[in-house]
Amino acid sequence: MSQSNCSTKSLRIALIDLIFVLLTKQKIQKIELKLPKQIQDLFITINVIIALTDQTKQTLLPEDFLQQSNDILGNNIQLNQDDFKKCNNDFNTISDQDLINLMNNDQSLNDSLLKFIENLSIESQSNSTFYKNSISLSNIPIDSIQIRAQFLYLLNKFIEKSLSLIDLSLSTGQNFLTDQFQKIKPYLLFSIKVQLFTETLEKTQSRYDSDWNMINFDILKASTNTNNSENTMFYQAYQQLHTKAHIIFRRSNEQIWHAQYIGMHSTDHGGAYRDSLTRICSDICSLRLSLFILCPNGRTNIGLNRDCWIPNVFSPNKSIPNKYKRQYRFIGQLFGMAIRKKHYLNIKFPILLWKKLLNELITIEDIQAIDLQSFTIINETEKNIEQIKLTDNDNDINSLFSSIMSELRFDVVSSSGETYELIPNGSNISITIENFKYYCSCYRQYRLNEFNRQINYIQQGLYSIIPYYYLNLFTAKELEEAVCGKDQIDIELLKRNTLYGGDYNKNSPPIERFWIVLNEMFNNDQKNLFLI
């Protein structure tokens, strides 16, 4: 798209955003009816999103939305406000997501909505494992689930019609309408996202190249001197590929490069390529490179995500060295290649990295998910101060600061364990009751933005391979699965490698029942928790 076209589209989106806000405040329905039909449908969609995400559950659906249900869903389905109120009371964010997952995974929805609705009733009565991956739905009446599925399907049809009027490249807070669509991403059916995204992948694909990209790997060098990052398989691939990766990784070739292991007389028919990719991933999630470190929960062996790696931490007052910037970009390009070719990467990063790649806001909870103790001191101190204030005893507050905060300064222990100043000369500034609030603000801001620069370079690499526009429709979890594949537990592999003690063996009735329960009644998250 040319620069002038981009400017025109941005202006149009800004005007639509302004018109919506003005009409919402003034409630001028006569003017709204004079707008083009596509813009009217966009405003209807926004109002539906507002109603669906209203935590008080008091907002009604726009009548225009309900009136179109018959035309869009078919003569057998006519939704009304009472239907919405009923299912809205039964559903919350978790059960909505479970229903969307059910709709994404049920092939009958590809045939027709009516068939899917009928199957819901049949399956829930006859199949005991129907809810194994949708536990939150098990206590909701089937008629309410059916109505909710109809609403969500209708909403998806409206979203599909309105997407061309939304600038999905904008970050949170830049445009009201875009913000509403970002909120509804988890409600968008995967088939719609994939269709739009696949079209952009095809349009940005490079031509097939019959010339092989032969990449030479020295396995002996990679396995002997492990202290030198330039010996790693990752660095050997980076050195030979990174200057043209933005072209090579978009090619239509089934295999992006052919791996030649030095000193080994072999022809790469796919095996060496896959092996080299596995070794590269092993280097990325290791201390052999200076790019990532095991998260604090992993190093202290507490909390969640102990197997997750996070970007290494660099001084906030200094630029990240150029060589690391380029390597982060190359990792983003590997992400893009994995998405295009479905050559999944065996890497383990926390959800905050995938969220940031999609320009989503990182939350306190995201940080605590990789560092359980990250906010313990300031949270406890804030709580104690509030309790002391109830007694109006300033002496107790001064005592609290002299006992707990006397050793603290305006600095922070980063996720890597290094200490950095939060403000200039912060290491010489004590924490007092007067500046404690400001200290907490600086501390939280640092922890929330600690990985921004590193992930931005990864994002630059990703966007050089993958068109970012419709990528922003995906959730962080969906992006992770697009790069790494689905984290499925192989029960059969687990059975083959299980040893039994005492009088038990694989054919013992309790053991057979155990495997049936684990395989058929546990969802994937429960299987993961069982194995921790």
Per residue in 274-333, pLDDT (tens digit) is: 999 999 999 999 999 999 999 999 999 999 999 999 999 999 999 999 999 999 999 999
CB-based burial, 88-127: b 16+ in 10 Å, e otherwise:
bebbeeebbbbbbbbbeebebbeeebeebbebbeebbeee
Helices and strands, number each (H, E), in the chain: 29, 6
Contact between 55 and 91 under an 8 Å Cβ cutoff? The reply is no
Contact between 174 and 13 under an 8 Å Cβ cutoff? The reply is no
Radius of gyration of the chain (CA): 27
pLDDT of residue 475: 94
pLDDT of residue 24: 63
pLDDT of residue 22: 54
Q: What are phi and psi of 430, to 5 degrees?
A: -75, 155
Token pair in block for residue 174 = 């830049």
Query: CA 341 to CA 109: how far, in whole Å?
Result: 26
Nearest to 168 by CA among 155, 184, 181: 181
In whole angstroms, how far apart are CA 90 and each of 53, 65, 100?
14, 21, 15
Contact between 347 and 337 under an 8 Å Cβ cutoff? The reply is no
DSSP string of 47-84, one letter each residue: HHHHHHT-TT--PPPPHHHHHTHHHHH-TT----HHHH
Place of tokens 């596995």: 278
How far is the first Cα of the chain from the last one, in angstroms, to the nearest whole number?
49
In whole angstroms, how far apart are CA 138 and each of 121, 129, 133, 484?
12, 10, 10, 30
Output the pTM of the full model.
Answer: 0.85
DSSP string of 232-256, one letter each residue: SHHHHHHHHHTTTHHHHTTB--SSS
Query: CA 463 to CA 22: how far, in whole Å?
Result: 35
Low-confidence ranges of the chain (pLDDT < 70): 1-14, 17-33, 75, 123-133, 210, 266-269, 392-395, 488, 490, 523-525, 527-532
pLDDT of residue 176: 86
pLDDT of residue 1: 52
